[in-house]
């Protein structure tokens, strides 16, 4: 066992005991805060969960089950009330998106879309990097960042191998190293950024949507978030590309002979677009259109009948009974394939919503807001700067979805205390959770490309450090200029 693994196991072991011990100790000491005893119990429960989430003493999804039984035992909720958040409509929004993504993956539609986008950017080295980044960004808007990165990496590795076999470059050649670094880091960073552009693209966004509904009774629809997320994420993508190929790792390779053949070969291996792909594409496009045109459709119907969750679940459910071969009983998606569905994430959403609900009903969120508002007026830009920086750099060390689950209720309390519109603080802070670029452990895409063996930690840290600062700057700039006009 390596020293790193041994240290990690020690941290997990300490966390395993520290969580419940801190919880028990807090229950037995006198309440030191000017709050009701019920609120203090919730803080104790939150402390237990935070310790386990940070140390990952048990799987983060298992930790999310704690509020379901602990809140009734503490007298905060009935069991009916504590289980309700685990069936929140926002969870089914994400489930519907997952089902559509699974159908795309099953029939390789996502790979065809990616390869088609890559062919549009030419055979210049920087053009290839741009093509991979655009394809990764687009796919991550709709399917998981992890699945996107896993799919894009082998294609990228084929292009990298081309440089060695066809152009005779050495692995340690400076131009080769810089091209490989820009390509692989570009894929990881584009996956992280792209997921934040839509409300279903990454789990932190779904947590945000659920909290907005819980605390503000505010239904954030798909097109509204697109007006916020797409400009910010598009700007981050453009700056990331520019920084990688012009500042961090310029390669000066120019035209890559043979690269076009690799992409065409991959497309040829897929064969002509199949009937299942066409049908999945139609359902995917119809679902996306339904999200974007949600408000006009409801206006046409004369009542708010449709919402994000209904559109997502219709699209996902249709996959199970859209026929491929009725005689053989074959459909676009079968139940066996849904074993790939990340049910743990859905439980994590439920646990976070349950904890957030407990914090709301016991007055903890209101208390945070009152402390902030009594402290005096704070410049809006300074609040954004501090909150996004805290979120971003903490995400380098722990799961971003667990961190958002913990941190967003505090941000919402601050927002309520200052009388700000719901999205003014919540939106930039949530996007910041997807902008961890420094460490392999920060996000699954970072870890996946690091495992390729072509990237050293110091190289990822070098690029990631500056991109983190750029991300914070972009979020602050958008918050104080554009955001106030679209929230």
State the burial class of residue 275 (Cβ atoms within 10 Å of its Cβ: 0-12, 13-18, 19+).
exposed
- 34 and 123 belong to one structural domain: no
- What is the average pLDDT across 255-269? 74
Do 443 and 401 touch, CB atoms closer than 8 A? no
Whole-angstrom distance, CA of residue 179 vs CA of residue 194: 22
- 200 and 272 belong to one structural domain: yes
- 158 and 238 belong to one structural domain: yes
- 52 and 195 belong to one structural domain: no
Whole-angstrom distance, CA of residue 362 vs CA of residue 45: 13
Please report whether residue 5 resides in a domain: yes
Please report whether residue 334 resides in a domain: yes
Please report whether residue 305 resides in a domain: yes
The per-residue pLDDT for 26 is: 93
The per-residue pLDDT for 320 is: 92
Q: Which of 289, 315, 340 is the last residue of a domain?
A: 340
The per-residue pLDDT for 423 is: 87
Sign of CA dihedral 131, 132, 133, 134: positive
Whole-angstrom distance, CA of residue 451 vs CA of residue 153: 10
Q: What is the pLDDT of residues 327-337, one digit of tens each?
A: 777 888 988 88
Do 129 and 180 touch, CB atoms closer than 8 A? no
Please report whether residue 197 resides in a domain: yes
Q: Which two tokens stand for residue 5?
A: 């693994």
Q: Which two tokens stand for residue 125?
A: 């080295």
Please report whether residue 392 resides in a domain: no
Whole-angstrom distance, CA of residue 195 vs CA of residue 462: 23
- 252 and 314 belong to one structural domain: yes
Q: Which of 312, 340, 368 is the last residue of a domain?
A: 340
Cβ-proximal residues to 66 (8 Å cutoff; 6+ apart), any chain: 45, 48, 49, 52, 351
pLDDT band of 170, cuts 50, 70, 90: low
Cβ-proximal residues to 299 (8 Å cutoff; 6+ apart), any chain: none
Residue with tokens 């970072």: 446
Whether pTM exceeds 0.95 = no
Do 291 and 223 touch, CB atoms closer than 8 A? yes
Q: What is the pLDDT of residues 289-316, one digit of tens each?
A: 888 888 888 888 887 888 888 988 999 9
- What is the average pLDDT across 402-420? 83
- 269 and 305 belong to one structural domain: yes
- 117 and 14 belong to one structural domain: no
The per-residue pLDDT for 223 is: 84
Q: Could you tell me what percent of the chain has a pLDDT over 90? A: 22
Q: What's the structural domain count of the chain?
A: 2
Q: Which of 323, 340, 357 is the last residue of a domain?
A: 340
Greatest mean pLDDT among 394-403, 437-446, 469-478 lies in 469-478
- 248 and 288 belong to one structural domain: yes
Please report whether residue 202 resides in a domain: yes
Whole-angstrom distance, CA of residue 372 vs CA of residue 185: 39
CA distances from 453 to 74, 183, 263, 311, 480 (A): 49, 13, 22, 41, 41
pLDDT band of 318, cuts 50, 70, 90: very high
Query: Domain span at residue 24?
Result: 1-63
- Give the largest CA-CA distance in the chain: 73
- What is the average pLDDT across 104-121? 81
Q: What phi and psi values does residue 369 have, to the nearest 5 degrees?
A: -60, -40
Do 145 and 202 touch, CB atoms closer than 8 A? yes
The per-residue pLDDT for 1 is: 52
Please report whether residue 402 resides in a domain: no
Cβ-proximal residues to 327 (8 Å cutoff; 6+ apart), any chain: none
First and final CA of the chain: distance in angstroms? Answer: 51
- 163 and 101 belong to one structural domain: yes
Please report whether residue 378 resides in a domain: no
- 159 and 221 belong to one structural domain: yes
Res 43 pLDDT > 70: yes
CA distances from 456 to 151, 289, 439 (A): 22, 42, 10
Q: What is the pLDDT of residues 226-256, one digit of tens each?
A: 889 999 999 999 999 999 888 888 877 666 6
Residue with tokens 């203090």: 40
- 117 and 194 belong to one structural domain: yes
- 174 and 98 belong to one structural domain: yes
- What is the average pLDDT across 317-346? 85
DSSP state for residue 84 in the 8-state scheme: G
């Amino acid at each position: 066992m390596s020293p790193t693994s041994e240290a990690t196991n020690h941290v997990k072991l300490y966390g395993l005991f520290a969580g419940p011990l801190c919880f028990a100790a807090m229950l037995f000491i006198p309440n030191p805060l000017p709050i009701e005893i019920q609120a203090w119990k919730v803080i104790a429960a939150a402390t237990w969960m935070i310790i386990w989430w940070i140390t990952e003493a048990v799987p983060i999804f298992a930790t999310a089950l704690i509020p379901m039984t602990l809140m009734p035992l503490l007298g905060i909720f009935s069991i009916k009330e504590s289980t309700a958040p685990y069936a929140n409509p926002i969870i089914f929004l994400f489930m519907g998106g997952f089902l559509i993504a699974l159908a795309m993956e099953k029939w390789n539609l996502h790979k065809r879309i990616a390869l088609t986008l890559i062919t549009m950017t030419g055979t210049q080295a920087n053009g290839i990097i741009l093509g991979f980044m655009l394809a990764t960004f687009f796919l991550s808007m709709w399917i998981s960042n992890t699945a996107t990165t896993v799919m894009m990496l082998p294609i990228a590795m084929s292009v990298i191998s081309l440089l060695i076999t066809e152009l005779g470059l050495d692995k340690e050649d400076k131009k080769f190293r810089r091209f490989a670094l820009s390509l692989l880091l570009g894929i990881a960073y584009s996956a992280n950024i792209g997921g934040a552009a839509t409300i279903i693209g990454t789990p932190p966004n779904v947590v945000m949507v659920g909290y907005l509904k819980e605390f503000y009774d505010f239904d954030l629809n798909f097109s509204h978030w697109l007006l916020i997320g797409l400009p910010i994420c598009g700007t981050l993508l453009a700056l990331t590309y520019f920084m990688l190929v012009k500042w961090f790792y310029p390669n000066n390779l120019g035209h890559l002979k043979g690269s076009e053949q690799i992409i065409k070969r991959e497309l040829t291996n897929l064969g002509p677009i199949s009937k299942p792909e066409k049908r999945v594409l139609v359902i995917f496009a119809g679902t996306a259109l339904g999200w974007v045109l949600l408000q006009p459709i409801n206006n046409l119907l004369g009542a708010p009948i449709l919402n994000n969750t209904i559109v997502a679940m219709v699209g996902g459910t249709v996959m199970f009974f859209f026929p491929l071969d009725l005689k053989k009983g074959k459909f676009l998606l079968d139940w066996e394939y849904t074993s790939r569905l990340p049910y743990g994430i859905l439980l994590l959403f439920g646990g976070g919503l349950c904890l957030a609900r407990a914090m709301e009903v016991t007055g903890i969120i209101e208390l945070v807001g009152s402390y902030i508002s009594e402290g005096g007026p704070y410049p809006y830009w300074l609040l954004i700067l501090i909150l996004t920086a805290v979120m971003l750099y903490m995400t380098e060390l722990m799961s971003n979805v667990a961190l958002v689950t913990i941190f967003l209720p505090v941000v919402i309390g601050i927002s309520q205390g200052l009388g700000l519109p719901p999205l003014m603080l919540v939106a930039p802070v949530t996007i910041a959770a997807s902008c961890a670029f420094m460490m392999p452990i920060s996000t699954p895409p970072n870890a996946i490309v690091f495992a390729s063996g072509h990237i050293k930690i110091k190289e990822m840290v070098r690029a990631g450090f500056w991109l983190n600062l750029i991300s914070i700057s972009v979020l602050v700039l958008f918050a104080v200029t554009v955001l106030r006009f679209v929230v």
